[in-house]
Every structure is written in C-alpha cells, then in structure tokens.
Amino acid sequence: MLIRSVYLPAILGRLILFREYLKNHIVPIVIEDANRNEYLESMKDYREGKGPDKMIHLFEKEQQFYLRQCKYFM
C-alpha cells in the first residue's frame, strides 16, 4: 500500500507529536476511530469560538483509554 504524498505531512506530524508526548512523560493522545466524529465536532466547535471544553474532555478520555490499553505492558 502506497502512502499518498498528501497524507504524509499529517502522518509525520502525528508521529512527531507522539514522540514528544513520550519524551516529556505525557500520556499520548491517540484518537480512536470510534471517536472520530466527536473529534471533528470538537474541532469545529473550537474553530467557531465555543471554547476548548469538548476537545479537552475528549483528549482526557483518549488518554485514559490509551493507559488502559497499555496497562498490560507497564
């Protein structure tokens, strides 16, 4: 499977962000496919000036999910 050059900057950005989270001892935020619509909605709300509350809640939820998934390896 080839990665289109259009998606490459987004993928690299996510990888760099993931690495920086780990390097700074912060639980990474990985948006699960099941929460994609909630993520897009929270981004839209933020852009429209409704504040970051939905986004913060989603990020905290995703961090907790990531921790539960990684618990086995810790």
Q: pLDDT tens digits for 27-60?
A: 999 999 999 999 999 999 999 999 999 999 999 9
Q: How far is the CA of 69 from the CAs of 14, 50, 73, in angstroms?
A: 19, 31, 9
- In a domain? residue 1: no
User: What's the number of domains the chain is made of?
Assistant: 1
- In a domain? residue 2: no
16-46 burial code (b ≥16 CB/10 A, e <16): eeeeebeeeeebbbebeeebeebbeebeeee
Q: Which amino acid is at 55?
A: M
* Residue-range definition of the domain harbouring residue 34: 8-73
- In a domain? residue 68: yes
CA 3 – CA 23 distance, rounded (Å): 27
pLDDT at position 38 is 95
Among the ranges given (1-5, 14-18, 61-65), the one the predictor scored with the smallest mean pLDDT: 1-5
Q: Return the percentage of the chain with pLDDT > 70, whole number.
A: 92
**pTM of structure:** 0.77
Tokens 């086995």 correspond to 72
